[in-house]
Amino acid sequence: MASTPSTTKAHRANPLLKPYLIAYNALSLLAWAYILTTTLQFILTGPHVLPPVSSHGATGPLSATGKAQELLAGFGERLFGLSKGITHLPSPSSIGSTTASTIANDHHQQHHAKSLLAAFLPSRLSAYLSGSYAYKALGPIVVWTQTAALLEVVHAATGAVRSSPVTVGMQVASRVWMVWGVVEQRPETHANPLFTSMILAWSITECTRYAFYLLALLHLEPRALLWARYNLFYILYPLGAGSEAFLMRSVLPSIKTLPAALRHHKASGMAAAWDRLRSLGGVRGREWGAYELFVGFLFVIWWPVFGKGKTLGAKKRQ
């Protein structure tokens, strides 16, 4: 997925391309190295007290979306004199009722995530992996660092690197979907241990990959890095892909309610289905909305895609 060094015509035609790729890979390496060291620090200093799940979803103050909105509002205030202002002040009674319902919902969502993992992770390990999203703003940093990988598709499409745009696009899209389509849309994933195992696998993979390509651009090829590049795949790929799949599963309602939900959607017609799609379903009540059905479909196809990717990755390393 990182920018592969090459001696293509594009490199010879544009003398600035190689310095750009060196800078891109170096900055990407630094970003993922920070994510890796922060993740390891979080695990080694745990277990941590879990922050409450944001009742604002993707626009919560700890989320990447919320921080982006805060940043843009700050720019507007400084550059154009726009006020971030408060439109109204809620009454004390409404604050009390909202807080009580939010706390109850937070406990329900965190209990749901933990119960799904009970069969897979020992409780002590789960405690050390839970809640990394809010630790030193790790979650938003992962979201924006992974979003920046969309440049990889541009590199491949323009011939700056010798990679298939389709292959790179699929690899990047799966991760961008995880951060924006799952993690940012469903705040209960922020406390899920699978988020930590996912970014741990991602960060080790990307640190190895970007270091490999950066040094190759500088005509260096350490044997230890070459070994890591081609052998850690057999551990990190199952860990990363498996964490992604089960993190998606954690936002889904009980499978027992799916048949009734499908009958309801069929009876309600396309108009109601479109309304549910626009509202991204009903996660608060753990209902099967359009969003949940789409995530469920991705969860099912994730496994054959995982098997195909593992086979192709193994062949490249033979």
- Which residues are the active-site residues? 237, 244
Considering only CA atoms, which of 244, 276, 246, 112 is closest in space to residue 179?
244
Q: Are 213 and 5 in contact (CB under 8 A)?
A: yes
Q: 186 phi and psi, to 5 degrees? A: -125, 95
Amino acid at 204: I
Please say whether the beta carbons of 7 and 159 come within 8 A: no
d(CA 288, CA 299): 14
Q: How many CB atoms lie within 10 A of CB 78?
A: 9
The sign of the dihedral angle between the CA atoms of 120, 121, 122, 127 is negative
Residue pair 258/288 in contact by the 8 Å Cβ criterion? yes
Both structure tokens of 292: 């949940």
For residue 96, the 8-state DSSP code is H
Q: Collect all residues with Cβ–Cβ distance below 8 Å to 250 and sequence separation of at least 6.
A: 112, 113, 116, 117, 188, 189, 192, 194
Secondary structure, 3-state, 115-140: HHHCCCCCHHHHHHHCCHHHHHHHHH
Residue type, 40: L
Tokens of 137: 């703003």
Could you count the other beta carbons within 10 Å of the beta carbon of residue 14? 12
Query: What is the torsion angle, in degrees rounded to the nearest 10, for the CA atoms of residue 19, residue 20, residue 22 and residue 25?
Result: 180
